[in-house]
């Protein structure tokens, strides 16, 4: 009962939060890495052990967040960065959604995702994919993402289970649907 009350008080506080979503500034990358690390260490500890968390935080895998072809949106509250999300426009992939643990479960992640999806629609991206942590599967499902398959991170030596998820933003034409079906059969063996 106490956890339920805590979530209700966080939701009530969220109604009072004024959150601004804006594009990332070039000088914010290190701050976003720090926010990402704190968020991963704090919020995923129930689903991943210490070795898995350290593997996720490997700098080589983190450096791919801000590569060419990506756009990053930052959530600000009272001039403080409280979250960010990254869309890879080349691969139509969500590479990051992180919210500061003190601001988690207050609708900030959802606001970031709505902004990201609007950007994807503006770029005529028809489907988004995400490699979701076990911790975030419920979050993505609540936003309409469909679970496709269990996968493991390939960039790390330690096995880190994740979920491959997709969301259809716009309908595919016949050729695109055929390609998606073939890729699904090849990748997932369905």
* 148-190 pLDDT per residue, tens: 999 988 766 788 999 999 999 987 778 767 776 676 666 555 4
**DSSP-derived secondary structure for 139-171:** HHHHTT-EEEEEEE-SSSSS--EEEEEEEESS-
Q: Tell which residue, 90, 91, 108, has the closest CA to residue 99.
A: 108
pLDDT at residue 1 is higher than 50: no
Average pLDDT over residues 85-104: 94
State the residue for tokens 């804006």.
Answer: 22
Q: How far is the C-alpha of 56 from the C-alpha of 160, rounded, in Å?
A: 8
Q: What percent of the chain has pLDDT over 90?
A: 66
Weakest mean pLDDT among 11-25, 70-84, 85-99:
11-25
83: exposed, middle or buried (Cβ count in 10 Å: 0-12, 13-18, 19+):
buried
The rounded distance, in Å, linking the Cα atoms of 74 and 22 is 5
Q: Which residue has the tokens 């959530």?
A: 75
The pLDDT of residue 105 is 94
**Pick from 6-15, 16-25, 30-39: least confident:** 6-15
Note the pLDDT of residue 73.
Answer: 97
pLDDT band at 41 (very low <50, low <70, confident <90, very high): very high
Instruction: Judge contact between 36 and 62, C-beta under 8 A.
Output: yes
pLDDT of residue 175: 74
Query: CA 53, CA 37: separation in Å to the nearest integer?
Result: 9
Quote the pLDDT of residue 106: 94
Q: Which residues pair with 160 in a beta bridge?
A: none
Confidence band, pLDDT 50/70/90 cuts, at residue 61: low
**Euclidean distance between CA atoms 65 and 91, whole angstroms:** 13
For residue range 45-59, list pLDDT tens digits in order.
999 999 999 888 875
3-state secondary structure of 77: strand
């Amino acid at each position: 009962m106490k956890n339920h009350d805590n979530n209700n008080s966080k939701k009530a506080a969220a109604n009072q939060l004024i959150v601004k979503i804006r594009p990332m500034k070039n000088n914010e990358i290190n701050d976003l890495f720090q926010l990402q690390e704190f968020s991963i260490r704090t919020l995923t500890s129930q689903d991943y052990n210490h070795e898995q968390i350290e593997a996720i935080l490997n700098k080589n895998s983190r450096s791919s967040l801000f590569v060419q072809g990506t756009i990053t949106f930052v959530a600000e509250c009272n001039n403080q960065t409280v979250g960010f999300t990254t869309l890879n426009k080349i691969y139509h992939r969500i590479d990051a959604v992180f919210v500061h643990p003190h601001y988690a479960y207050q609708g900030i992640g959802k606001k970031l995702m709505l902004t990201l999806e609007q950007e994807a629609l503006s770029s005529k991206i028809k489907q988004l994919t995400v490699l979701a942590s076990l911790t975030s599967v419920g979050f993505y499902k609540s936003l309409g993402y469909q679970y496709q398959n269990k996968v493991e991170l390939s960039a790390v030596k330690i096995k880190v289970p994740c979920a491959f998820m997709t969301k259809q933003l716009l309908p595919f034409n016949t050729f695109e649907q055929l390609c998606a079906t073939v890729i699904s059969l090849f990748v997932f063996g369905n």
